[in-house]
Structure 1
Amino acid sequence: MFKIPVLVTGGAGYIGSHAVLALKDAGWPVVVIDNLVTGFRFAVPDGVPFYQGDIADEALLARIVAEQGIGAIMHFAGSVVVPESVENPLKYYDNNTARTRSLIASAVRGGVRHFIFSSTAATYGIPEVSPVTEDCPQRPINPYGMSKLMTELMLADTARAHPLNFCALRYFNVAGADPQARTGQSTAGATHLIKVAVEAALGKRDSVAVFGTDFDTPDGTGVRDYIHVTDLADAHVLALEALIENPGRSLTMNCGYGRGFSVLDVLDAVDRATNQPINRVLQGRRPGDPDSLISDNARIKATLPWVPRHADLDTIIAHALAWERKLGEMQATLTPTPG
């Protein structure tokens, strides 16, 4: 297959930087745009063309598409904190919806034929069944999920009107880090459970809050489907190949392993990895948290030759810990020594 240049938006962020590595490792020409509001310049590998800017800057996008010969876009840029979306919905409808509309318009004008979108299981809201299939009703319960659903709808309408096909990948709980510790979750104040837990294990936090112990689950804590970020990045590369091979077809697929772990399962696994207990603070459940959220991944397995390589909770946590330790070393070299 001829490997066209791919523009990765948000390529200096957590998932985007792993997608850049997966593309680069597979021999695809990669270009990154990121405004570095939550991304990190160090996360973009040497030799990858980098543009600091906003996806809504249509003049900049036109220049990038022309200069680099962009044939596909992988879109990760956006805001991802659910409670923040409730407090500041207009920020999410701006960053995740309005600016993505501008990006899609730039793609159409520039003749970009393939678009892969970072969507989310939050578009399902509180599903009535688990595991969740792609055909379950999409009833988001927060602006984050709604902003992502609106983008899915925009892409579907655009694909009907223009020579562009797309793949919307609905993520479940993304975790872990690059097995070679080249990149990982670096955002300060991140809310992902495994990120919070490994920070606590390494003394960067005093404790981990457990939100709810009365769920209808085996141990009373919420159950989620955790997917290793590198397996997720691999799925994006395979999805790109599928779009190129069949330009008349668009795809929507869940990204998860089809099995779940509870909050206490995760914390116990971190305890095992470090041989010391994390301080756990039991709190009430948060509004809108479902008992269990697990993907039905039959469609992605039937559609792509996707074989997860890191589908193991202990492996996910080991890679997250390794990155957190490396991140601490990197931060230490940037911190002035007192005196």
Structure 2
Amino acid sequence: MSLPLEGLSAIVTGAGRGLGRAEALELARLGASVVVNDYGQPGRDGSGEASAGPAEDVAAEIRAAGGEAVAHLGDVGDFDEAGALVDVAIGTFGKLDILVNNAGILRDRMIFSMTESEWDSVIRVHLKGHFNTTHFASVHWRERSKAAGGPVHGRIINTSSEAFVAGSAGQPNYAAAKGGIVGLTTSTALALGKYGVTANVICPRARTRMTQDVFAAVSPGSGSGQPGDGGLDPLAPEHVAPLVGYLASSAAAGINGQLLVVHGGMVAVVERPKVAAKFDTAKELFSYEELDELLSPYYAGRPANETFAAAEVLGLKRG
């Protein structure tokens, strides 16, 4: 019996640790050949010397389990390096079928304290990084589709965050980047659907070095976060990886342009924003007085601290 991703090749960015590592291992377990991309910097803020070590370790782990994998040391925020990454997949495995964008950094600061470089660096790695790899992958799939005279198997799984959905006061750069990734994904889904390519976006909640200040440490007896150790941590990245594997498969061909929140054995499908209320002017043009008469009573009846992206939109509390 063949595996769901047998004969397919994948790129996973930021796959040297945490979520990316779990996703790369899962894709390989399902039969995909994997390019494990990671820039290998020790700091979650993107600081430190780049190292091939993390990507090499994960690629070796896949090969030791009987799979196919190569490591790639590269900065996806660099347009040319992202192109080289896609070329590695095509040159090594003959084609690219699956792109999982996961690479990112954090430089948290309140909006009034954030520097230009802290803003630019996070937008560059997250949002531009997603664009860069998606651009080169989409060129490849479009050319393959034209040559084949029909659709090809192309899957993009992008990584957003509940920081976009529910707000995050100390992460204006990160929240903006993650919101932009949702817009990029839905646009890409519309553009590439006719070629057989789907693009979806996940908001994973997981305990990694990126979230070490957000979630409390694993409590004694709850497991270390690895399967089979006497209790899997509810926020282990392994809870996220199966959804990525599924979205990468042929079974998910009809799922396109979707936003899904995933963690701890739960997947929530998030609908597009809906209009909560609508007001029409009684005249040709709104006046200040009319808007005050319509909007002030409406907002007076809502919670004082409610924002557009309230956490309750998911029925979830932030960890």
Instruction: Output the TM-score relative to the length of structure 2.
Output: 0.58
Alpha-carbon distance between aligned partners in 1 of 2:214 and 2:255, rounded to the nearest angstrom: 36
Q: CA deviation at 1:228?
A: 2.5
Q: CA deviation at 1:238?
A: 1.7
Give 3-state SS (helix, strand or coil) of 1:44's partner.
helix
- Does residue 249 in structure 1 map to residue 256 in structure 2? yes
2:157 corresponding residue in structure 1: 116
Q: CA deviation at 1:248?
A: 6.8
- Does residue 90 in structure 1 map to residue 98 in structure 2? no
- Does residue 51 in structure 1 map to residue 92 in structure 2? no
Alpha-carbon distance between aligned partners in 1 of 2:33 and 2:119, rounded to the nearest angstrom: 36
Match of 2:238 among 227, 230, 233: 230
1:101 corresponding residue in structure 2: 131
Give 3-state SS (helix, strand or coil) of 1:147's partner.
helix
1:34 corresponding residue in structure 2: 38
Q: CA deviation at 1:72?
A: 0.7
1:174 corresponding residue in structure 2: 206
| Residues 125 and 141 in structure 1, CA contact (< 8 A), matched pair in contact too | no
- Count, aligned residues: 220
Alpha-carbon distance between aligned partners in 1 of 2:134 and 2:210, rounded to the nearest angstrom: 30
The C-alpha deviation readout for 1:50-75, integer Å capped at 9, x for no partner, is: 01112231441342232122111111
- Does residue 165 in structure 1 map to residue 198 in structure 2? yes
Structure 1 runs not aligned, ≥5 long? 128-138, 176-184, 199-224, 260-287, 298-312, 314-339
Q: Look up the equivalent residue of 1:174 and give its one-letter code.
A: A
Q: Look up the equivalent residue of 2:166 and give its one-letter code.
A: G
How does 1:258-297 map onto structure 2 within 5 Å? 295-296=314-315
Task: Give the superposed CA RMSD.
Answer: 3.8
| Residues 258 and 294 in structure 1, CA contact (< 8 A), matched pair in contact too | no
| Residues 254 and 296 in structure 1, CA contact (< 8 A), matched pair in contact too | no
Instruction: Output the TM-score relative to the length of structure 1.
Output: 0.55
| Residues 10 and 100 in structure 2, CA contact (< 8 A), matched pair in contact too | yes
Q: Look up the equivalent residue of 2:246 and give its one-letter code.
A: L
Alpha-carbon distance between aligned partners in 1 of 2:14 and 2:210, rounded to the nearest angstrom: 17
Is the radius of gyration larger for structure 1 or structure 2? 2
Q: Look up the equivalent residue of 1:250 and give its one-letter code.
A: G
| Residues 32 and 50 in structure 1, CA contact (< 8 A), matched pair in contact too | yes
Give 3-state SS (helix, strand or coil) of 2:206's partner.
strand
Q: Look up the equivalent residue of 1:98 and give its one-letter code.
A: K
Give 3-state SS (helix, strand or coil) of 1:95's partner.
helix
| Residues 5 and 27 in structure 2, CA contact (< 8 A), matched pair in contact too | no
Q: CA deviation at 1:25?
A: 2.4
Q: 1:81 to 1:295 in 2, by over 3 A?
A: farther
| Residues 122 and 140 in structure 1, CA contact (< 8 A), matched pair in contact too | no
Q: CA deviation at 1:2?
A: 5.1
| Residues 12 and 36 in structure 1, CA contact (< 8 A), matched pair in contact too | yes
Q: Look up the equivalent residue of 1:44 and give its one-letter code.
A: V
**More relative contact order in 1 or in 2 (CA 8 Å, sep 6+)?**
1
1:61 corresponding residue in structure 2: 85
2:21 corresponding residue in structure 1: 17
Alpha-carbon distance between aligned partners in 2 of 1:32 and 1:253, rounded to the nearest angstrom: 24
Q: 1:8 to 1:94 in 2, by over 3 A?
A: same
Q: Look up the equivalent residue of 1:50 and give its one-letter code.
A: A
Give 3-state SS (helix, strand or coil) of 1:238's partner.
helix
How does 1:171-250 map onto structure 2 within 5 Å? 171=204, 173-175=205-207, 185=208, 187=209, 190-195=212-217, 227-241=235-249, 245-246=252-253, 249-250=256-257
Alpha-carbon distance between aligned partners in 2 of 1:189 and 1:96, rounded to the nearest angstrom: 16
Q: CA deviation at 1:95?
A: 1.0
1:148 corresponding residue in structure 2: 178
Structure 2 runs not aligned, ≥5 long? 43-52, 64-68, 142-152, 221-232, 267-306
Q: Look up the equivalent residue of 1:100 and give its one-letter code.
A: H
| Residues 10 and 34 in structure 1, CA contact (< 8 A), matched pair in contact too | yes
